[in-house]
């Protein structure tokens, strides 16, 4: 089978989805995301600092391309938070709360792309809202708060690539995956699973396109966090 070629991408405003998502089925998902955000904004004021948060705040005072046990992104996020919002509990828990709401929105988008309608999208969003793991993690600053956003964002892009037959989206996939690597090295696990999944399905034809490999180069064009060199 010949390699796929670029075609007109059908975005969220195309004939496939004539109305803006958040004004249609996405409104229910948006409500669930808002509940998720408000829940964590409220809870984030009533618990003390988690020990890892103090470590990340300390790393923020000594920015580097990487640390012994983590890539540099979480320290940069902590630094920006300290500069713009301060070090209070509500301040350092704002971005984790927003990340939690982002998970809900991405879940709804993925459900839509997989063919789910209003009920399916709302149920998927609600499942993320009540998931015990996310209820715990999204309440404090850590790499694990942001990691699912990168995984889910990449999964969403892969679905769009397959549906729209637009190979140029691999570049955006590579960019997002590369930023995810700066957050946590376990992003490589997602990459391995993705390649394995492609190899085991007819979608392996994407491996024969230059856009897939260019996306991989974009992902790996990142600083070496071990020695601080490019």
pLDDT bucket at 223, cuts 50 / 70 / 90: very low
Domain-embedded: residue 175? yes
Reply yes or no on whether the pLDDT at 2 is more than 50.
Answer: no
Task: Judge whether 212 lies within some domain.
Answer: yes
What confidence category does residue 49 fall into, taking pLDDT thresholds of 50, 70 and 90? confident
Comparing 35-44, 164-173, 219-228, which segment has the lowest mean pLDDT?
219-228
Residue 129 contacts residue 34 (beta carbons within 8 Å): no
Per-residue confidence band for 87, with pLDDT thresholds at 50, 70 and 90: confident
In this prediction, residue 48 carries a pLDDT of 83
Average pLDDT, the chain: 86
Residue 18 has a pLDDT of: 61
CA distance to 5, 102, 105, 119, per residue, from 31 (Å): 38, 12, 10, 13
Q: Report, as an integer, the average pLDDT of 38-45.
A: 89
Q: How many domains does the chain have?
A: 1
Look up the domain containing 229 and give its range. 146-230
Q: Which of 29-33, 208-212, 218-222 has the lowest mean pLDDT?
A: 218-222
Give the whole-angstrom CA distance, residue 128 versus residue 101.
9
Residue pair 99/149 in contact by the 8 Å Cβ criterion: yes
Q: Phi/psi of residue 229, each to 5°?
A: -115, 160
Best CA proximity match to 40, nearest among 116, 120, 121, 99? 99
Return the biggest CA–CA distance within the chain: 58
Contacts of 159 (CB under 8 A, 6+ apart): 110, 113, 114
Instruction: Indicate if the pLDDT at residue 204 is higher than 80.
Output: yes
Count CB atoms within 10 A of the CB of residue 67.
Answer: 17
What is the C-alpha to C-alpha distance for residues 105 and 138, in angstroms, rounded to an integer?
14
Q: Is 156 part of a structural domain of the chain?
A: yes
Position 72 in a domain = no
Please tell me the predicted confidence (pLDDT) of residue 1.
44
Domain annotation covers residue 7: no
Phi then psi dihedrals of residue 191, to 5 deg: -60, -40
In a domain, 222, yes or no: yes
Q: Could you tell me if residue 172 is inside a domain? A: yes
Q: What is the pLDDT of residue 222?
A: 60
Q: What is the pTM of this model?
A: 0.83
At residue 229 the predicted structure's pLDDT band, cuts being 50, 70 and 90, is: very low
The answer as to whether 5 is a domain residue is: no
């Amino acid at each position: 089978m010949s390699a796929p070629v670029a075609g007109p991408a059908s975005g969220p405003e195309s004939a496939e989805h004539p109305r803006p998502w958040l004004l249609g089925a996405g409104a229910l998902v948006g409500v669930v995301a808002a509940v998720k955000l408000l829940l964590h904004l409220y809870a984030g004021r009533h618990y003390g600092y988690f020990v890892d948060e103090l470590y990340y705040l300390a790393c923020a005072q000594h920015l580097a391309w990487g640390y012994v046990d983590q890539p540099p992104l979480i320290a940069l996020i902590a630094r920006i938070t300290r500069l713009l919002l301060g070090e209070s509990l509500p301040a350092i828990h704002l971005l984790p709360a927003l990340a939690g709401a982002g998970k809900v929105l991405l879940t709804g988008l993925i459900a839509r792309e997989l063919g789910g309608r209003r009920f399916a999208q709302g149920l998927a969003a609600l499942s993320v809202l009540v998931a015990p793991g996310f209820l715990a993690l999204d309440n404090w600053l850590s790499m694990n708060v942001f990691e699912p956003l990168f995984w889910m964002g990449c999964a969403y892009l892969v679905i769009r690539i397959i549906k729209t037959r637009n190979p140029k989206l691999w570049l955006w996939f590579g960019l997002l995956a590369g930023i995810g690597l700066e957050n946590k090295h376990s992003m490589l696990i997602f990459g391995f699973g993705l390649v394995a999944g492609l190899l085991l399905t007819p979608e392996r034809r994407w491996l024969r396109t230059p856009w897939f490999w260019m996306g991989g180069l974009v992902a790996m064009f990142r600083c070496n966090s071990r020695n601080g060199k490019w």
